[in-house]
Chain A
Amino acid sequence: MMNYYRTNNSAHAVRLNEIPTVSYAEFYADVAEKLRLERYHVAHYFALMEQQSRLRFYCLLLDDQTAEVLITSFTMDYYAENALPSLTALHPQMHPFEREISERYGVCFGKMPWTKPLRYPFDRVDRTQTIDNYPFYAMAGGSLHEVNVGPIHAGIIEPGAFRFICNGENVLHLEIALGYQHRGVEALIAATDNRLRQMLLAESVAGDSSVTHATAFAEAIEKLTHRVEQLDTERSVALELERIAMGIADTGALCMDVGYQLGQVACEALRTMTINTTQAWCGNRFGKGLIRPAGTDHPLTTEKAAMIRHNVAQIARRYAEVCDDVRNAPTLLARFEQCGIVPHEQMWQLGGVGQAARASGMTREVRSSHPWGIYAHEPHHTPITEQDGDVMARLAVRFAEVRASATWIERLLDNFTPVQRVLPNYNSSLAASSLAFGLVEGWRGETCQVVVTNHAGQIVALKIKDPSLHNWSALALAVRGEGISDFPICNKSFNLSYCGHDL
């Protein structure tokens, strides 16, 4: 039985010396064994430089059945040249973590099947590797051709390089090279003591998930100071508004890509209405400025709660009409069904999270398995799943999640009484030499931010994981065997973040 520090998503921070340090052999054997079961997956795995040129590796393992978060660590001499046996070789879901550690510190993982750089950070160990000479997979054959897309795409979206290997119209392989959006968010947060600046940086990890990332950071900070329970309802309303807005946006985008204008414009209008509701609450359409540590500048008043409730009810009703229309249109179903299938087995092996994983029959959902805040109270959220793993399944999960979020907001705001106002606190001292994580189910999936402090209570590291980190490889698998013209709808059905991946 291996040694873990066992905690959960609403407990206080962990002192670094309470986290067990095991040998890599023990770590490898136990994690390899646990990941055979679907109930376990890795929320975060990273290395930090300690004094005396030692690297300490931390791993946060989630147990979906017991709601526990298992934390363990091991250390390694920075200059040691021995390779650590790769966990990716057994469990592909570990690939982004091992690639990040290799790229950042030059640690070698033996028998690692996919050693390519992850995001080319500015502080990578090998500066000779640049994104311009990304080692794309190549195939030889007279009947094959390659299609290169990006880094700048045709639409108004973020940059990333896509390389398709096609046989005629059919995609044999897609490889996605990311890193163009790397801004150095993690390093900037560790470089400042201005808590407001840290908060704004955390909020800017991915614009479409501002509330999600801001909540993850604020929750982590509050675990290092003290939790403020009065804010639970407001944070949940904000998070669910974000989920509604993006669910509708993705529905509209899918309609657009198959040339269905009615669905597109109806969703555009409904998304506008949703984000304008957020704007009328906090002054920003993306909810920026709403989530702050230990307090809020935009308290939910009775009037605002009534406004949100009224708008959400109308949005839910009209969106249900769009869903009904899409489900009844054979021309749309012909495009969405049986397209871009990721089977349950593959999704699980890749460590898929969020609505994409749930569309492939996985029940992975932090709101249910590792609840925090209001989600820890009755009634519990039930994960919404679909079995087919195709574009339609991912869309159907959105249909149902938007409806569930609207019902959730309605329930929270029923008989809502404003709580006593608490102001944000940017000066509180953080627990020293500790680790705290914010684990939040955003609209895209499981989002994890881990804060590590030093003996003076300063943030020495923030490690961010956007759900996109896991799901990009699922998108690459989804288009295999599909016509290249189906790529846009496969892509939109995942709607992954570039900046959240590149940080």
Chain B
Amino acid sequence: MIRSKIKVLRSHGRQAIPDLCNVELTEEFRGRPVLSHGADAPLEAAARRCPTGALSALPFTLDLGRCMFCGECARIAPERIRFTNDYRLGSPTREGLVVGVGDTRIDFPRHAIRPELHPLFGRSLHLREVCAGGDGSVEMELNATGNVNFDFGRFGIGFTASPRHADGVVVSGAVTQQMSEPLAICYDAVPDPKLLVACGTEACSGGLFATSRAIDRTFFDTHTPDLWLPGAPTHPMTFIDGMMNLLGLKTRE
């Protein structure tokens, strides 16, 4: 009996990523895009094909809050758009997610962060996750942030079962009509001061479902997230990097 456990342990070895601040993802990963000048015709074709209208040819911008990271625009207009494997996509503002020509990073300006967040939550933060109409992939990636590989718990950051025990809410999904009220109730149940994170392209803008009649995003009319995290789904490293920047454990200005 013990022998089978020793076997599992020996094969398992050590799995935790030693330094979460220095992680490189595979070249294939589609992260932050780089936009450049060039011919207009392929760009217009790419904008027409874009499934969520994230790409605009004039002015030339790519809104990561709406981007599904399918990479099709980069295949139609390769000299104008290129996806890098940079997963540092989180922004404290919605406008910050709009990438323009020549941008080499998503800014995380310190003045856009509420100053009370770091002293309050920098050493321990517990979040309540609300899935409000996602496809389940963002939720699985959020679960993965706490797993044996990413082990985000090493910074005292994790998820809790009750909103009463939470310091903030992470929303995933486009927010369906049926979930709009439960989401608001859950957010209200979290004691002040609290933070709000929109995780995933669907949470940021509705994504593919922005025009659906089954969606009700009025929650975001009255509540502004402190952190916007694009992705379909958001990679665990995007979440970890975004949270660390928000809490001042890391800087990217």
Contact = CB atoms under 8 A, between A and B. Distances in A.
B68 A200 contact: yes
A272 B16 CA distance: 11
B211 to A, nearest CB: 7
Interface string B201-220: 00000001101111100000
B39 interface: no
Interface stretch (A98-106, A153-161, A410-418): A153-161
A289 B71 CA distance: 8
A265 interface: yes
A497 interface: yes
Contact of A265 (B12, B208, B233): B12
B213 A187 contact: yes
A447 B10 CA distance: 38
A406 interface: no
Given A120-B178, A497-B136, A285 B141 contact: yes
Interface string A181-204: 111100110010010110011001
Contact of A321 (B7, B71, B130, B159): B7
Given A200-B51, A207-B135, A283 B68 contact: no
Nearest to B68: A200
Interface in B1-28: 1, 4-5, 7-9, 11-12, 15, 25-26, 28
Interface stretch (A35-43, A274-282, A349-357): A274-282
A325 B6 CA distance: 9
Task: Report, as a range, how many residues of chain B touch the other chain.
Answer: 35 or more
A205 interface: yes
B239 to A, nearest CB: 11
A249 B143 CA distance: 11
B77 interface: no
A131 interface: yes
A180 B71 contact: no
B101 interface: no
A196 B49 contact: yes
Interface string A122-160: 110000000110000000000000000001101111110
A262 interface: yes
B148 A285 contact: no
Nearest to B209: A183
B186 interface: yes
A269 interface: yes
Contact of B134 (A158, A276, A325): A158
A408 to B, nearest CB: 22
A379 to B, nearest CB: 30
B200 to A, nearest CB: 10
A284 interface: yes
A367 interface: no
B159 A266 contact: no
B208 A207 contact: no
A204 to B, nearest CB: 5
A289 B72 CA distance: 9
A197 B71 contact: no
B70 A200 contact: yes
Contacts of B246: none
B213 A123 contact: yes
Contact of A183 (B72, B148, B214, B233): B214
B150 to A, nearest CB: 9
B30 interface: yes
A151 B208 contact: no
B179 interface: yes
A180 B179 contact: yes
B155 interface: no
B176 A182 contact: yes
Contacts of A299: none
Given A182-B214, A321-B4, 12 more contacts: A122-B177, A131-B178, A196-B49, A196-B51, A196-B72, A200-B51, A269-B15, A269-B148, A288-B232, A318-B11, A321-B8, A325-B8
12 contacts: A152-B182, A156-B159, A158-B139, A159-B130, A180-B179, A183-B214, A184-B214, A197-B51, A207-B140, A208-B140, A265-B147, A265-B148
